[in-house]
Amino acid sequence: MPDAFAVPVRELLDPQVLALNALAASAGWPPADPLALPLAEARAAAERHHAFLNGRAPVPVVVQDVEAAGPGGPLRLRLIRPPGEASAHLPVLIYFHGGGFALNSIYTHDRLLRLLARHGRVAVCAVAYSLAPERRFPFQHEEALSALRWVVRHGPSHGLDRERLAVGGDSAGANLALGLALASRGEPGPPVSFGLLFYGMFAHDFDTASHRLYGAGGFGLTTERMRWYWRQYLGEHTPAADAWAAPLLADLRGLPPLYLAVAGLDCLRDDSLRLARRLEEAKVPHRVALYEDLPHAFAGMTRFVRRAEVAVIQAASAVGGHLRGQPLALANG
């Protein structure tokens, strides 16, 4: 991994990422910064930025919105199916969007969700979970369990094969997905059989090499912003060492196979690499796909960055292949 202190940012990042950053800035749709704006304005800015990333010509899919019974009332789920398979009995990927628990939505991740459905040939169940600080840990984990239980109980009537079930997410959403995989070990019904984790936010820990290398702001996500996200999610008094809040600290034995898609130029890089080491110790099959020249949130850049699109297609193929009985070769620890 190159030393970010010695090499200019422009020589580390994929050139298409640099071009995208310049285009977004010139168009007036830069990434949202919740440290510089009131939260409501930051959320609106995030929606605008991702609308720019998604574009007006989405990947064709079939979309259906349903509701599950959540811990605080109805929980919205969006079912996304690949074209031509609207009525098929499909494997299902329960997916949680990123945004530090405080930003973003199922709308900001629309293009990514469509790509996962199409290239994985799965039904994606996207969860519109509650945002922090209005709702804090562990409320979002309770909503994740509600989504899983809805799929198990009601999924078959909506064309979902509950016997072929995966969980996935990016950043904060990867935290929820890993937490759900952990919690599902004690749930009745079919087990979660695969996990897809993009550049996850797995521990309340900023003393890592990747935070020191990439957390100052040259690559997008900053350490300061990560501290802010954790405060919104945990509040001031929730213990940061809680293994449900920080699943890197949990007992990982018995987890299903996991696919870790890792951004190399990301202050959260080491969250995923440390997780991989712990998975190896726990004898959990896994694969690490490290994209050394991509930053945090690359899965949302697929319309502009070819390498990001390839990474998402590879991840989708890993999920779909595993759920269809054609798994990738994985490290077994």
- Cα Dmax for the chain: 56
Alpha helix segments (H runs only) across the chain: 9-12, 15-27, 39-54, 110-120, 139-154, 172-183, 209-214, 223-234, 269-281, 306-323
Contact 221, 266 (CB under 8 A): yes
What's the token pair of residue 170?
């990016």
Rounded CA-CA distance 148/121 in Å is: 20
| Plot region of 188 (φ>0 → left; ψ -120 to 50 → alpha; else → beta) | beta
Q: Tell how far CA 272 is from the center of its chain.
A: 12
Q: Is 110 a catalytic residue?
A: no
139-154 vs 172-183: helix axis angle to the nearest 10? 60
Active-site residue, selected from the candidate residues 119, 211, 296, 322: 296
Peptide bond into 138 cis (omega under 30): yes
Q: Is 87 a catalytic residue?
A: no
Active-site residue, selected from the candidate residues 171, 184, 193, 272: 171
Q: Is 171 a catalytic residue?
A: yes
Handedness of CA 163, 169, 173, 177 (dihedral sign): positive
Active-site residue, selected from the candidate residues 14, 161, 170, 266: 266
Rounded CA-CA distance 125/123 in Å is: 6
The residues, any chain, with a CB within 8 Å of residue 138's CB and separated by 6 or more, are 244, 245
Catalytic residue IDs? 171, 266, 296
